Amino acid sequence: MTAARKLDWLETSPTRTAMTMAWVDQVNEGLPLRAAERLSDAIAPLDAAFKYRLVPKATYARRRANDAPLSKEEGERVVRLARLWAFATEVWGGAEAARRFMLEPHMLLDGKTPVDVALSGELGGKLVEEVLGRLVYGSAA
């Protein structure tokens, strides 16, 4: 599978229901480093260091130098955050409002940012997804 094909899911705004076995295969094969870069550019376009929250700086430099793909763990982190980013842009109706939601502390997350909670692991990602779902149905502040 080509690197361009592996990035299609980032271009088509993955949603909670768009998960397929192809995503699982792509993550297992290793997403290209560009996936982390694209997602970082979307969520935090003014923060050049945001990508290091997805891939540690030293690891990022090694992967860049060797044109190496992301590890399975890194790929899962990117996919988790990409899905939440897509959901947030749907809920908030655009990137700017979604960015504010993702990067500002939220009271339903004990004052932590949705990005921090999502990057803490799969359970954190589920919690952020739940908050977004509650926002859609009007039961969250």
Q: Where are the domains of the chain?
A: 3-136
Residues 8-36: what's their mean pLDDT? 71
- The pTM (predicted TM-score) of the whole model is 0.83
Indicate whether 53 pLDDT > 90: yes
Residues 25-48: what's their mean pLDDT? 93
Task: Give residue 110's region: left, alpha or beta (phi > 0; psi -120 to 50).
Answer: left
pLDDT for the residue numbered 18: 57
CA angle, residues 133, 5, 46, in degrees to nearest 5: 60
Which of 134, 49, 32, 133 lies closest to 83, judged by CA?
133
Indicate whether 51 pLDDT > 70: yes
pLDDT in tens, 96-140: 999 999 999 999 999 999 999 999 999 999 999 999 999 888 765
